């Protein structure tokens, strides 16, 4: 089954304790992205990756790191989480890395609800 998986789905942690949220897609997609969703703010792009070893900052990259060593995986790393990073996080992927007008959409993972105390 074609899908984007995220782990964990739920996480409660404490300020300053490093964590990684994994994201994996099995569709050989070039483009992968991380979003956070907060009430009243919609989804905001944190980082995106056009292909392996190519990553770029989105609108809200502060406090986050990513890496794209393999095409299928795009982990989100919070080196020192803070309470303002409490949010719902989505990973997404889409087939083409260099086509703004491609008709393909993003495929979203199920989301990871993170609480930082």
Residues that bind other proteins (CB under 8 A): 31, 33, 35, 40-45, 48, 50, 54, 56, 58-59, 88, 90, 92, 98, 100-103, 105-106, 108, 110-111
CB nearer to other proteins: pick between 10 and 69:
10
Q: How deeply is 86 buried, as exposed, middle or buried, from its count of CB atoms within 10 A (0-12, 13-18, 19+)? A: middle
Both tokens of 96, joined, read: 């083409």
**Rounded to the nearest whole angstrom, what is the least distance from the CB of residue 48 to other proteins in the complex?**
6
Residue bearing tokens 């996480």:
11
CB nearer to other proteins: pick between 13 and 45:
45
CB nearer to other proteins: pick between 39 and 69:
39
Those residues with Cβ within 8 angstroms of residue 110's Cβ, 6 or more apart along the chain or in another chain: 5, 6, 9
């Amino acid at each position: 089954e074609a899908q984007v998986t995220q782990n964990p789905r739920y996480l409660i942690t404490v300020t300053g304790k490093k964590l990684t949220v994994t994201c994996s897609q099995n569709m050989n997609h070039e483009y992968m992205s991380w979003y956070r969703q907060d009430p009243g703010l919609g989804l905001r792009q944190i980082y995106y990756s056009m292909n392996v070893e190519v990553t770029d900052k989105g609108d809200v990259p502060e406090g986050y790191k990513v890496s794209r060593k393999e095409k299928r995986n795009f982990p989100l790393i919070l080196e020192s989480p803070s309470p303002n990073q409490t949010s719902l996080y989505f990973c997404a992927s889409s087939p083409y890395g260099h086509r703004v007008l491609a008709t393909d959409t993003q495929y979203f993972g199920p989301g990871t609800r993170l609480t930082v105390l």
